[in-house]
Amino acid sequence: MNRIGCISAVLMVVIGNWSPVASQSAPSIYQRRTVVTVGISGSPRTRDGTYEMTGVSSACGEIPKDASLTGQAVFVVEFPAEAPAGGRITSIAFGSKELVAGVTKATAFRLSVGVVNAAGGRPPLYVLNTDSRRPKNTGTATLTTVKNVTTLKVGGQNEGGETIDLTLTCS
């Protein structure tokens, strides 16, 4: 066996059956099929309504602390990965440091939702930030996972008095 063959054999033993294709596959939280229903009411900026959409999330799941940019584990949703033409939901961003390690209910989270209303307008994002613990931002997020299907439900009210009821399922 020549020198290159010996080095290749040693490397294969050391790193196992490594393959560039296998090492580049996305973790299961990325590119998940997602179904969303959002109800918003009490809006002074014409956001009121029920919005539904099916698409693919950029991310939907728990990012462990060793992979997180903040060094803390966090449950995140970024939806949609690409906005489809005619979609009534333009963006959903959710994050909670509480919904990790098997925790299923949280009162501290950040949520923003962008919509296209019935008149075709794009009002400012609906924002609910309960992790700042401001008294008029209240809500609860619950998380269930059954057979790799994750369901996030969020209900709450922001400081503008707008309420939201969101159900998002990633599979």
Q: What is the pLDDT of residues 96-126, one digit of tens each?
A: 999 999 999 999 999 999 999 888 888 899 9
Task: Give the pLDDT of residue 93.
Answer: 96
Give the three-class secondary structure for 21: helix
Query: How confident is the model over 147-153, as a mean pLDDT?
Result: 93
> Predicted confidence band at 3 (pLDDT cuts at 50, 70, 90)?
very low
Predicted model pTM: 0.80
Task: Give the pLDDT of residue 148.
Answer: 87
Q: How many CB atoms lie within 10 A of CB 147?
A: 5
Q: Is the pLDDT of residue 16 over 80?
A: no
Q: What is the pLDDT of residues 162-171, one digit of tens each?
A: 999 999 999 9
Of 79, 78, 95, the closest CA to residue 130 belongs to: 95
Task: Give the pLDDT of residue 4.
Answer: 43
**Cβ–Cβ < 8 Å for 61, 29:** yes
Q: What is the pLDDT of residues 56-110, one digit of tens each?
A: 999 999 988 888 778 889 999 999 988 766 778 999 999 999 999 999 999 999 9
**Cβ–Cβ < 8 Å for 74, 62:** yes
Query: How confident is the model over 133-160, as a mean pLDDT?
Result: 93
Q: How many CB atoms lie within 10 A of CB 74?
A: 21
Task: Give the pLDDT of residue 106.
Answer: 97
Task: Give the pLDDT of residue 45.
Answer: 67
Distances (CA, A) of 30 to 12, 17, 20, 27, 57: 29, 24, 19, 6, 7
